Structure 1
């Protein structure tokens, strides 16, 4: 037996004496046969109660393997990390999800559960948490790519990384093994929303539909579906044509709930177009009629867009209605969310800077805007490039004309002054001043290349 830091490494076997009692470390063969038995370690851990805890683990084929395992345990304990090599990844994730119930939004929690239950646990849930390594995470992501897109796999990776970060924060893990794993490239797919002409056809088609004003506001303001459905009259300032995004409607297992906007930057004030204001005024007239018809049975949530009885509209119903109306209008199929993309494309086409578009859409960073709409700004960039080239060409023409006038003036002055000068005094005839004579008609090499 040898001592390793605060623990010990020893060898034992499963041989038994005549009475059936296991010999363990006292088997005589251990002293004569170096290959007999297997290696174990034992270490005293910090007590969580008044009783001392001793961890004993075995089955190692060599003393070195047992020593490395012991060193790993003692290092974790010394750094204040809680030791529990019986807890599996599945057990840890279940505990993490319980914590997120009180922190995450319902839709985010639902996404976490789907990733954990459908992907992560079936793949690595059986593993002891403390034996989880980066290579296991890499294999998980590789296997997850079958039948899934890179964006989905990146979200799965983000879920596991978030859970393991919680483990580090609570001193359950010494480090996050998922942090240094690079997920597959999740470049955002290019969006191809309706053109201005197509959008006009759609909005004209839905003018007589009950949800027409809703689609008008989404398209004009670039709102997300849940944001539009959570809009309240108290959030509107029609006189100044603004709307404050304060809440969103989400479907949690078939139950509609009010939640906060997607991100902190999403909770902001957005401007309303004149068309959107007119659509809202039209909608309010119809809603007043509904409120009178339902009387005391009307559910008054102060919602702008609601059902006839005032209850929140179901997001999936709004999407189905949008698809049906766009098909009836004879337009190419796009998603309801593409009305938001369309608002961005129209702003970019009008020459609005990318930074302003990002602010209008309330993205958390301009990088998201560039990744999503960078290709839509190509025409705008081309227009800017042409404008720059035109300005440069105009500058060349102006400087060339000025250079021509200067040449004519200089030539006249020289002919007048040379009439009374000798060749030496005028710098002609190969003298030193002749070497420095400058001809303004000769362009510099750089100017020749540009012109």
Structure 2
């Protein structure tokens, strides 16, 4: 009764029977409908692998910052990956924020316990020459649908899941554009899940270059010839039965072909970074690069690719210096009378 009355007074309804484990699983259940499958899988892995073994038996009301800080220290000393530790504590903070918002906790004990976010490793990008070598090798040695898939990825900057989920109904060859409306993700034990892109910015159209158009025309011709009625339907890149290509198999093929010609080893997402770096190196305005990559904000593009802007920054300050020099050289010379009565230039 005292606890109930205290809750009425403070507006916080605390249940002393709730453990951290039961609360975290309840929180996961409420979040599942609102998360992409791979995002939910990442949260669930943090909860079951790290958070419940560490804090699950503690009552939710008894969890304190010292419990979390001690766990972080122990994980760092055990040489756990800093990214893994950061994600686990960030997940705990997010879950407890929800408890505070729903008046089940008075404060969030994980609020100040999240370690600094580790600096992301710099992505490996191919040069234009390396990318062209890779595409030429595929065309000469394989000439298969993966050759065209890699052409589309490098020629548009599409994400792996977006290109693997691309439907013919979203490709408009006459208009030289395609629409990104689906994404493919492999979750849990490799189960493939087809869903909508995560953000509104991702659901947009992309212009198609002549090279990408040629790749899509090749795939269209192959699929129309194989279809009994000569129609284009389903996925652009698929297995013979029409089912999606498995992302891991596509990655394995990328690395196999890369090894054959001795190029730097990269992942599928690095093809997107390569496309971005080539656009930036070619002097494409940053706003257009951001639009092509379908980033939510221009700041996202700057944060990801700011290290590639040195040449652009050099050009900017040189342009500024040239403008000042021109203004200085064109400044009108004013004549004034000197002390001896003679006119001098000022």
> Structure 2-normalised TM-score?
0.88
Aligned to 2:198: 262
Match of 1:90 among 14, 17, 21: 21
Instruction: Mark the CA change 1:286 to 1:175 in structure 2 (over 3 Å): closer, same or farther.
Output: same
Aligned to 1:229: 164
Q: Is the 8 A contact 1:151 1:187 kept in 2?
A: no
- Specify the structure having the higher radius of gyration (Cα): 1
- Listed one character per residue, the Cα deviations across residues 50-101 of structure 1 (whole Å, up to 9, x for unaligned) are xxxxxxxxxxxxxxxxxxxxxxxx2x44233222222211111111122233
Separation in 1, partners of 2:192, 2:227: 21
Is 2:176 the counterpart of 1:241?
Answer: yes
Gaps of at least 5 residues in structure 1 are 1-41, 47-73, 415-425, 429-433, 442-451
Separation in 2, partners of 1:323, 1:257: 24
Is 2:144 the counterpart of 1:209?
Answer: yes
Gaps of at least 5 residues in structure 2 are none
Is 2:333 the counterpart of 1:440?
Answer: no
Q: Could you tell me how far 1:291 is from its partner in structure 2? A: 3.2
Q: Is the 8 A contact 1:230 1:248 kept in 2?
A: yes
Higher relative contact order (CA 8 A, sep 6+): 2
Is 2:256 the counterpart of 1:351?
Answer: no
Match of 2:258 among 305, 326, 343: 326
Q: CA RMSD in A?
A: 2.6
Q: Is the 8 A contact 2:168 2:233 kept in 1?
A: no
Is 2:55 the counterpart of 1:124?
Answer: yes
Is 2:198 the counterpart of 1:291?
Answer: no
Is 2:131 the counterpart of 1:199?
Answer: yes
Separation in 2, partners of 1:204, 1:371: 32
Separation in 1, partners of 2:291, 2:261: 32
Match of 2:2 among 25, 28, 43: 43
Is 2:249 the counterpart of 1:314?
Answer: no
> Structure 1-normalised TM-score?
0.69
Q: Is the 8 A contact 2:4 2:13 kept in 1?
A: no
Aligned to 2:155: 220
SS at match of 2:227: helix
Per residue, is there more helix in 1 or in 2?
2
- Listed one character per residue, the Cα deviations across residues 343-381 of structure 1 (whole Å, up to 9, x for unaligned) are 111111122233332222122333332222110111221
- Listed one character per residue, the Cα deviations across residues 196-251 of structure 1 (whole Å, up to 9, x for unaligned) are 11111011111223311111111111111011011111111212221111111112
Q: Is the 8 A contact 1:193 1:338 kept in 2?
A: yes
Aligned to 1:273: 209
Report how many aligned residue pairs link the two structures. Answer: 340
Q: Could you tell me how far 1:175 is from its partner in structure 2? A: 3.0
Per residue, is there more strand in 1 or in 2?
1
Q: Is the 8 A contact 1:242 1:272 kept in 2?
A: yes
Runs of 4+ in structure 1 over 4 Å off: none
Separation in 1, partners of 2:158, 2:102: 38
Aligned to 1:368: 300
